[in-house]
Structure 1
């Protein structure tokens, strides 16, 4: 068990802004078409299977079989995936860097396809601040499965109660709490900073 508080971040939409709609606004004529595509074709549930480790080749084939008229747009989810990454969330990255400067032990658990994460990791130096990152696609596990949180704990000899988990998804926050971690739902960097200040974590 480590001493003190270990801070465990989600990455997508906490530290790095991600939005597939940003890509599909370039492909479709209006927001209604974008919403329909995300709701019926390349859905969050479909994307979660890539986060679980399914290959993009298999995913594209599956979606194209369902909606062959949208083959080009479906393929773009893979070939133009970098256009769904909108860049760092600067306020959150500043918090991360402050915590790192204070020698706070930093970890991450992210739902992210293994290959796409490797591409992304090379672009953002602040991801090097983490002692360990559990990537769902590498493990075949996705949040909020209790096993993915326990994997981080077991791999690093951490006690759940000594960890604060930060995630934008309330289901993932609940999953962390269910195994005994402290957890906070991320909404904005300002609210996160205020919360950490209230705990006395930021100095």
Structure 2
């Protein structure tokens, strides 16, 4: 890592980096595993989610999908009505790293596939989502990762050269597009690894990253 320039800004994905996003596991708790498996086999719920991640209305998309699959109507509506039960819990150490970077004066941005209304709901509870210097939320931008356009939009808005951006995300495709644009990257698997990467980049000391 020593041959890389010191990053001028750090970008966090949100789902599975700052907030746990495992809707299958949450549905297992809410309706039971058998019912969840049947529903996810019949309905492309992640595809539904991507529609409002691209800017479509959260409630309208979920209700449209629920009406198209009446046998799972009540369960599908939970995606909207019980959003805060699905998008949880926060990943505490990642939140601490976000705050440690800000305390050091390092610009910290969000770059996340997230709907307009679903993000507002999460932000109302997980108030650390207000802590970013800039927030690049796909629903507001009309494009989702890993489309190169969203990365281009980030670069144009922040004015920082790609090689001075350090980005973490849990999805290899999203990381690959960032790498192709010359960004520094870290594939997030656990907050411990991300903490070490921030230390290696010279942004935090080990004590600050603890």
Q: TM-score of the superposition, structure 2-length normalised?
A: 0.87
The runs of at least 4 consecutive aligned structure 1 residues that moved more than 6 Å come to none
Residue of structure 2 in register with 1:28 after alignment: 31
In structure 2, runs of 5+ residues without a counterpart are 1-5, 206-210
Answer yes or no: is 1:17 the counterpart of 2:49.
Answer: no
Question: Could you report, residue by residue, the CA deviation over 1:176-200 in whole angstroms, capped at 9, with x for unpaired residues?
Answer: 1122211111000111112222222
TM-score by length of 1: 0.90
Deviations 1:55-82 (A, max 9, x none): 2343234423442111111111111111
C-alpha RMSD of matched pairs (Å): 1.8
- Give matches, 1:149-188, under 5 Å: 149-188=151-190
Query: How many angstroms apart in 1 are the aligned matches of 2:64 and 2:39?
Result: 15
Partner of 1:5: 8
Residue of structure 2 equivalent to 1:147: 149
Aligned to 1:91: 93
1:101 aligns with 2:103: yes
Deviations 1:76-126 (A, max 9, x none): 111111111222101111111111111111111110110111121132232
Q: Which 10-residue stretch deviates more, 17-26 or 87-96?
A: 17-26
Structure 2 Cα separation of the partners of residues 99 and 19 of structure 1? 26
Number of aligned positions between the proteins: 200
Distance 2:184 2:42 in 1: 35
Q: Is residue 111–residue 135 contact of structure 1 (8 Å, CA) maintained in 2?
A: yes
Match of 2:202 in 1: 200
Unaligned residue ranges in structure 1 (runs of 5+): none
- Distance in 2, matches of 1:132 and 1:58, equals 28
Contact persistence 1:22–1:83 (CA under 8 A): no
Q: Distance in 2 between matches of 1:104 and 1:156?
A: 14
In structure 1, distance between residues paired with 2:40 and 2:55:
20
Aligned to 1:127: 129
